[in-house]
Amino acid sequence: MKKIITFLKKLLPKKAVKIDLQFPTDWESMSYANFKDVCIILSTPRGRKETLFLCLCKLTGLTPDNPGKYDPKSMTNKLAFRHNGKSYIIGASSIQAACSELSYILDSIGLPPCPFPHIHQKLYGVSFEKYYYADSLMLRAMAENNEGYYKEVAKSLTNGQKRKLLPWERKALVIWWNGLKHYMMQQYPHVLETGENISDRTQAELLQDLLSFMNDNKPQENEKILKTDVHSVMYSLNNIYNNAKQRQSAAHHQ
């Protein structure tokens, strides 16, 4: 959702005019441009307060103004800004409250746009094979602290069109993929259960398990499954696992 904040533009000592500014209050309501701006800020290490303040300014179009232009007595607990060429004096508490609305940027997982514009944020239209390969690379990147794998993810998802990543794109890729995995876990809980990655088995071995659940003992079907849309495969797997668990539970209570 978008949050509208109302500030006051100081014109005369006893007169003020409202200014309404919008900014996204969760990852899902960010536009691609919003997400890029935020990730550019996040790609440089800063303190929490500075990060959120910079994000607020970027998302709303506010620019800090020179406080020296104003009477110091009138600026107690206030901050000076410019917006669309006009000057505004805003209470520090209002800015602090607005920044707190953006705390999800540092604290929460959500699903922003994909950093590669032609790819749907939920991977609609992407094959199961491509998703599984990208997920394997992302797991290796995090486990080995090797950012080189991120370039391979970008290359795979964009069919080789994207081979290098800017710092903001690396940051965006991690944030987006974490949000995507969280979404997939909610949609297909029986496939992507908590703790799925705590295993001594390789990703290749786990993939063979997944395929064996779907190929009806016909390994020649594996290629067709791999090329199928990831959500179609995950939906089927989720139903298969759920039905198997229900049968197991029923047998246990007999």
Angle of helix 167-187 relative to helix 32-42, nearest 10 degrees? Answer: 120
pLDDT of residue 153: 95
Query: Could you give the percent of the chain with pLDDT greater than 70?
Result: 87
Break the chain into its structural domains and give their ranges: 2-107, 128-252
Q: Which two tokens stand for residue 4?
A: 């509208």
SS (H, E, C) the chain: CEEEEEEEEEEECCEEEEEEEEEECCHHHCCHHHHHHHHHHHCCCCCHHHHHHHHHHHHHCCEECCHHHCCHHHHCCEEEEEECCEEEEEEHHHHHHHHHHCCHHHHCCCCCCCCCCCCCCCCCCCEHHHHHHHHHHHHHHHHHCCCHHHHHHHHHHCCCCCCCCCHHHHHHHHHHHHHHHHHHHHHCCCCCCCCCCCCCCCHHHHHHHHHHHHCCCCHHHHHHHHHCEHHHHHHHHHHHHHHHHHHHHHHHCC
Interval 158-187: pLDDT, tens: 999 998 999 999 999 999 999 999 999 999
Q: Is the pTM of this model over 0.75?
A: yes
Smallest CA-to-CA distance from 150 within 38, 43, 41 is with 43
Confidence tier at 14 by pLDDT (50, 70, 90): very low
Per-residue pLDDT, 6? 54
Mean pLDDT estimate for the chain: 86
Q: Is the pLDDT of residue 45 over 90?
A: yes
Q: Categorize the per-residue pLDDT at 195 as very low, low, confident or very high, splitting at 50, 70 and 90.
A: very low
Cβ pair 145, 139 in contact under 8 A: no
Instruction: Tell me how crowded residue 214 is: count the other CB atoms within 10 A of its CB.
Output: 17
Q: pLDDT tens-digit profile of 139-164? A: 999 889 898 999 999 999 999 999 89
Confidence check: pLDDT of 48 > 60: yes
pLDDT at 97 over 70: yes
31/27 Cα distance (integer angstroms)? 9
pLDDT at 13 over 70: no
pLDDT value of residue 253? 61
Q: Residue 11: pLDDT band by 50, 70, 90 thresholds? A: very low
Candidates 123, 102, 122; CA nearest to 26 is 102
Residue range 23-48: average pLDDT? 96
